[in-house]
Amino acid sequence: MPSSTYAARRGELETYFDRTAVEAWTRLTSTAPVGRVRATVRVGRDSMRATLLSYLPADLTGRRLLDAGCGTGALAVEAARRGAHVTAIDLSPTLVALAAERAAGNTGAGHVEFLTGDMQDPALGEFDHVVAMDSLIHYRAPDVVAVLAGLAARTRHSMLLTFAPRTPLLAAMHAAGQFFPRGDRSPAIEPVAERRLARLVAAGLPGWQPARSRRIAAGFYISQALEVRRR
């Protein structure tokens, strides 16, 4: 059951990504020219996407994958090209529509179903793998683990997520508000120490354990990949 803090932040994110910053994120996730700050974010996100995809099998034929917080669909498309049957879900109907438009005829041997809604919806079914790239970084660590626990009950092999590592540099960037111009700045990111998150995962997900991890730092983009696997 989502906590009150999860539900409140979910509402903020829905408003932000579907109304406030649609144009900015559409441009950021394209090949269009962007400013210096967003250029570093683009590079960082590309590197993070490649990292998460490297944690998945090279051949995903016949496997079901949940792209939890799919945004404009780049990761979902890459997974489908490996043969996966992808359910790609996001809170923003506008971004989901853009993702479906970009993915048309571009999914190779696999398939992507784009949906608007909550990644926790049990009606989505069961999956072999779940990927949540930069879609849980705005939630408090206990809420992140609660989401993972719900997904774990319907996931057979692995869950991949990103989190904002608690570092002095990241804290300074947040304090200065330098990630985006004030007009379309996203809801606050919730940094967490890697050791604390690992402890919470170990305690809150019986039968699962943290595995591979990699930090990506590219200018104004700082995020850390974490693989959580069944024991």
Range of the domain at 22: 4-230
Segment-wise mean pLDDT, segments of 10 residues, the chain, 231 residues: 80 88 91 94 98 98 98 98 98 96 96 97 98 96 97 98 84 54 66 96 97 95 97 92
Distance (Å, rounded) from C-alpha 34 to C-alpha 216? 20
pLDDT at position 170, please? 62
Q: How many domains, in total, are found in the chain?
A: 1
Extended strands (E) in 24-132: 64-68, 85-90, 111-116, 127-132
Which residues, 6+ apart, have CB-to-CB distance to 4 below 8 Å?
Answer: none
In this structure, the dihedral spanned by the alpha carbons of residues 150, 100, 97 and 183, taken in order and rounded to 10 degrees, is: 80
Distance (Å, rounded) from C-alpha 23 to C-alpha 12? 17
Q: Model's pTM, two decimal places? A: 0.91
Distance (Å, rounded) from C-alpha 216 to C-alpha 222? 6
Domain with residue 90: its CATH number is 3.40.50.150
- Residue 158 phi, psi (nearest 5): -150, 155
